[in-house]
């Protein structure tokens, strides 16, 4: 039985490795390889071989190997990190494929969680058949609209436009040509978050875990835009850990790019990141708790929440929440934190 199980694990991780070969950003990995070689004093061939072996031994991707700084860690330290393969298996168990549609499709998400969403949101079909809805959207108080592909992920296929530059016909034509099928009112964030970083909407990621009828909080992170209209780490932005009890940022801002230094102050605005207090923190926690209880079939979800002057605004939920955003800001592997939920 053990031999059969070990064989299945090997095959599964071999398939993962083939996927990593296909999907990896090789330009980025070459940059990371050069950095790791200089930083560790180890040869590039050694690091390449070590990263490939780590796929099998620690269930991580090539990018994980560098982002987790495995080239500096002992075997015991490496085993503490939850990598891409491990997270895929955990999240598949927690969030079955038949239940994920609600979180994958932004249009379905908005309808389900409409009581937690204050901004106006319309599908392309709705504004195409009702000109008044489109004209209402174009009169947005902020003067901006957010256009999305309802199935897009990680900030991809998102466009922020100036409403005054669009007529009804041009809006329909633009969304159709760009394959964008959702238009949302632009959320105006809290003034303190605007001072921290005005280039994009800076959201709070809160990770919840359903255990029976109880909601556990696995972590909270502040996503911070850096000269970007989105706040995803993958787009070159910062992330920082938030103390769950106080709502205060208790660490530095970190990049997923290992060649960049951590930041205690925002590199553009100069506002302190460490010690930053999230406004309306108790309400932010509460909206995440309510959202989690509304989809108990998805037991492990990362909720993106904006904070306005009037309180929190639910943006979206992620069944495949990011292991980098979760672990890099605290500078340690958190795999053990998930083990109690798998029993």
Q: Collect the ranges in the chain with pLDDT lower than 50.
A: none
The first and second tokens of residue 204, run together, are 């709070």
The first and second tokens of residue 229, run together, are 């209209």
Asked if 140 contacts 186 with a C-beta cutoff of 8 angstroms, the reply is yes
Instruction: State the DSSP string of 124-186.
Output: HHHHHH-HHHHHHHHT-TTSEEEEE-TT--TTTTEEEEEGGG--HHHHHHHHHHTT--EEEEP
Asked if 308 contacts 190 with a C-beta cutoff of 8 angstroms, the reply is yes
| Of 290, 253, 255, 257, nearest in space to 275 by CA | 253
Kindly report, residue by residue over 279-325, the tens digit of the pLDDT: 999 999 999 999 999 999 999 999 999 999 999 999 999 999 999 99
Distance CA(144)–CA(190), nearest Å, equals 16
Distance CA(332)–CA(69), nearest Å, equals 10
Distance CA(112)–CA(312), nearest Å, equals 17
- Reported pTM: 0.93
Distance CA(298)–CA(99), nearest Å, equals 6
Q: Domains along the chain?
A: 2-79 (no CATH), 97-107+190-339 (3.30.470.20), 120-185 (3.30.1490)
For tokens 């079955």, the residue is 96
State the pLDDT at residue 41. 97
State the pLDDT at residue 230. 86
């Amino acid at each position: 039985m053990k031999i059969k199980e070990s064989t299945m694990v090997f095959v599964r991780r071999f398939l993962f490795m083939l996927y990593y070969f296909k999907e990896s950003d090789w330009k980025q990995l070459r940059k990371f390889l050069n950095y790791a070689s200089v930083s560790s004093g180890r040869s590039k061939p050694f690091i390449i071989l070590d990263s490939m072996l780590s796929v099998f031994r620690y269930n991580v991707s090539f990018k994980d190997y560098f982002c987790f700084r495995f080239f500096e860690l002992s075997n015991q330290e490496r085993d503490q990190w939850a990598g891409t393969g491990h997270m895929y298996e955990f999240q598949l168990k927690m969030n079955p494929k038949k239940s994920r549609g609600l979180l994958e499709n932004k249009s379905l998400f908005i309808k389900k969680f409409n009581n937690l969403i204050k901004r106006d949101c319309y599908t392309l079909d709705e504004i195409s058949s009702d000109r008044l809805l489109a004209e209402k959207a174009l009169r947005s108080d902020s003067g901006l609209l957010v256009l999305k592909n309802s199935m897009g992920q990680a900030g991809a296929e998102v466009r922020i436009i100036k409403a005054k530059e669009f007529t009804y016909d041009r809006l329909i034509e633009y969304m159709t040509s760009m394959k964008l099928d959702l238009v949302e009112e632009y959320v105006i964030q809290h003034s303190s978050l605007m001072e921290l970083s005005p280039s994009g909407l800076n959201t709070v990621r809160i990770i919840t875990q359903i255990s029976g009828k109880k909601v556990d909080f696995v972590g909270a992170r502040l996503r911070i835009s850096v000269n970007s209209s989105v706040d995803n780490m993958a787009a070159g932005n910062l992330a920082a850990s938030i103390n769950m009890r106080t709502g205060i940022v208790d660490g530095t801002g970190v990049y997923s790019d290992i060649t960049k230094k951590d930041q205690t102050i925002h590199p553009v605005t100069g506002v302190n990141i460490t010690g930053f207090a999230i406004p309306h923190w108790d309400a932010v926690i509460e909206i995440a708790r309510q959202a989690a209880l509304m989809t108990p079939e998805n037991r492990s979800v990362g909720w993106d929440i904006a904070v306005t002057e009037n309180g929190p605004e639910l943006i979206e939920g992620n069944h495949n929440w990011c292991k980098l955003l979760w672990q890099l800001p605290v500078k340690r592997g958190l795999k053990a934190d998930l083990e109690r939920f798998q029993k």
